[in-house]
Amino acid sequence: MRDYDDIIAFLGEWGPFQRLIFFLLSASIIPNGFNGMSAVFLAGTPEHRCRVPASANLSREWLNASIPLEERGGRQVPQRCRRYSLEALANFSARNLVPGRDVNLSQVEQEKCLDGWEYSREPYLSTIVSEWNLVCDDDWKTPLTTSLFFVGVLLGSFVSGQLSDRFGRKSILFATMAVQTGFSFLQIFSTSWEMFTVLFVLVGMGQISNYVVAFILGTEILGKSVRIIFSTLGVCIFFAIGYMLLPLFAYFIREWRMLLLALTVPGVCCVPLWWLIPESPRWLISQGRFEEAEIIIRKAAKINGVPAPAILIDPVEIQDMKAKQQQGLLLDLFRTRNIATITVFSLLLWMFTSIGYFGLSLNTPNLHGDAYLNCFLSAVIEVPAYVIAWLLLRTLPRRYSIAGTLFLGGGVILFIQLVPPNLNLLSVILVMLGKFGITSAFSMLYVYTAELYPTIVRNMAVGATSMSSRVGSIIAPYFVYLGAYDRYLPYIVMGSLTVLIGILTLFLPESYGNPLPETFEEMLRVKG
């Protein structure tokens, strides 16, 4: 009995039709790159200090001394959330006392920023932080904004597969692209942090759904040999291209509303793709819509310049194939002790790797040096990481490849705390090297997980572990938030978790060189 790959074998593997689908679907991923990381600049926290109103009637000397100093980064700088009592300062000013000489400032009462804050205009002209004062007592709202975006990503990943199974790959692909672009545009008109965040959740739902459905559509249309290249180099590198465009947009557009407007334009440019990207013939066949599938396949044959067989699809043969398909249950992922161990380790692997990836990506503004350059470097380093991952998948065992890149990423991150303060450039290099290792590992997880589980639960296993990675991305902003207490703490925690999960990966079975398991018995037959 023929399967779909046998039916379309006459098309060849890399004709004009396949190249068109490969590059158009990969290009549709570009907006995901900058929407996924846009919070780096939209929610950037500029330097700030308490505002001292003119009504305080302070002399210039007392105005300059109105903010207490604290040590930060090895130097004395004004505190961000406290000021000296303006009533006390006005009294000293009226008596012509001199700060530091006549008055010991350490004994002066302090108070909160009762009149708001003054924000530096460098490097950002405005962000949602300066717009709605998400600092000091409200600084918890900034990581929550990013976490709720990833909650939207979690919800989107949960429903996108089911929707595309029900209504088709193409329609859901463009519907989710519209959700991502449309709600991103509506964010421009946000009048409060609450409104911005709710819309950000919806943007996250469209963002991941677009990515997942494009991934599914490409793997279903393209042939076997092109499929792995598409799922590793295609979508991943074009995501990195979008990520690289983000700091370029942000460098020239430093007002958050205008930046958000600029980031929505590429999504609008994807509209013409509706007339160029077809529905998945494989999905149409699964729905019994044989005539529509045959029209698409024959059109592909015409584009490739190859003759199509007179009888292309035998409905009886396809129906027999569907009748023999089995359905798995979520509990099957835990049906025996060994399978449950593999599943738990896989869930932890995805979660901890996601924490490292998103934690390092979101932390780039806190690195020494230019925030825009650091973000660009963080995006650029992903390209060789994906290439290395592809080469490792072709030549080396899976678990050793993933564990090795995790050891590299986690190890260099842990080493950052030992770098002397005067070697900030070395710290940035180590962060980028850590990002390289973790990104390489992250991009190999889809292939590895799919190879571990039998056909009956393969999609379910990939979906469950992918959901676990979304939980990691929700947690990641709070790892960045730890830097407010100790600049090295995020790296210590993320590095430790990354090395730990690298060790646990070595206890998983090896799948390299083995045929895909069709049953649970075949899955358990594979030795570690």
Domain 1-45+126-325 in this protein, CATH class: mainly alpha
Which of 180-184, 276-280, 376-380, 481-485 has the lowest average pLDDT?
481-485
Question: What is the per-residue pLDDT for 189?
Answer: 93
Question: What is the per-residue pLDDT for 461?
Answer: 75
Which one has a higher pLDDT value, 145 or 282? 145
| 327-528 shares the fold of 1-45+126-325 | yes
Is residue 521 very low, low, confident or very high in pLDDT (cuts 50, 70, 90)?
low
Is residue 439 very low, low, confident or very high in pLDDT (cuts 50, 70, 90)?
very high
Separation CA 157–CA 467 (nearest Å)? 7
Q: Quick check: 458 pLDDT over 80?
A: no
Which of 243-252, 415-424, 511-520 has the lowest average pLDDT?
511-520
Q: Quick check: 78 pLDDT over 50?
A: yes
Question: What is the per-residue pLDDT for 261?
Answer: 92
Helices 382-395, 424-452: inter-axial angle, 10-degree rounding:
40
Q: What is the mean predicted confidence (pLDDT) over 450-459?
A: 70
As a three-state string, the secondary structure of 425-439 is: HHHHHHHHHHHHHHH
pLDDT digits (tens, 9 = 90+) for 160-170: 767 777 787 88
Q: Give me the amino acid identity at 432.
A: M
Domains of the chain, by residue range, sit at 1-45+126-325, 48-119, 327-528
Q: Quick check: 52 pLDDT over 70?
A: yes
Q: Which residue has the tokens 């390092």?
A: 360
- The conformation of residue 35, written as its DSSP 8-state character, comes to H
Choosing among 2.30.29.30, 3.40.50.300, 1.20.1250.20, 3.40.30.10, the CATH entry for 327-528 is 1.20.1250.20
Alpha carbon of residue 437 to chain centroid: 16
Per DSSP, the residues of 438-457 read HHHHHHHHHHHHHHHS-GGG
Is residue 319 very low, low, confident or very high in pLDDT (cuts 50, 70, 90)?
low
Dihedral angle over CA of 277, 283, 289, 292, nearest 10: 20
pLDDT digits (tens, 9 = 90+) for 416-428: 888 887 777 888 8
Rg of the chain on CA atoms, in Å: 27
% pLDDT > 70, the chain: 90
Which of 62-66, 120-124, 386-390, 484-488 has the lowest average pLDDT?
484-488
Is residue 201 very low, low, confident or very high in pLDDT (cuts 50, 70, 90)?
very high
- Exposed e or buried b for every residue in 44-74, given b needs 16+ CB within 10 A? bbbebbbebeeebebbebbbebbbbeeeeee
Is residue 296 very low, low, confident or very high in pLDDT (cuts 50, 70, 90)?
confident
Which of 128-142, 191-205, 352-366 has the lowest average pLDDT?
352-366
Separation CA 378–CA 374 (nearest Å)? 6
Q: What is the mean predicted confidence (pLDDT) over 361-366?
A: 79
Q: What is the mean predicted confidence (pLDDT) over 28-46?
A: 85
Mean pLDDT, the chain, whole residue set: 83
Q: Quick check: 325 pLDDT over 60?
A: no
Q: Quick check: 171 pLDDT over 60?
A: yes
Question: What is the per-residue pLDDT for 256?
Answer: 92
With a CB cutoff of 8 Å and minimum separation 6, the contacts of 295 are none
With a CB cutoff of 8 Å and minimum separation 6, the contacts of 468 are 346, 347, 348, 350, 351, 354
Question: What is the per-residue pLDDT for 1?
Answer: 45
Separation CA 273–CA 53 (nearest Å)? 55
Question: What is the per-residue pLDDT for 34?
Answer: 82
Q: Give me the amino acid identity at 44.
A: G
Q: What is the mean predicted confidence (pLDDT) over 16-24?
A: 88
Question: What is the per-residue pLDDT for 363?
Answer: 82
Separation CA 160–CA 166 (nearest Å)? 10
Separation CA 70–CA 79 (nearest Å)? 6
With a CB cutoff of 8 Å and minimum separation 6, the contacts of 310 are none
Q: What is the mean predicted confidence (pLDDT) over 467-487?
A: 82
Question: What is the per-residue pLDDT for 5?
Answer: 67
Q: What is the mean predicted confidence (pLDDT) over 345-364?
A: 89
Q: Quick check: 40 pLDDT over 90?
A: no
Residue 116 φ/ψ region, left for φ over 0, alpha for ψ in the -120 to 50 degree band, beta for the rest: left
% pLDDT > 90, the chain: 17
Reported residue count of the chain is 528
Question: What is the per-residue pLDDT for 519?
Answer: 63
Question: What is the per-residue pLDDT for 260?
Answer: 92
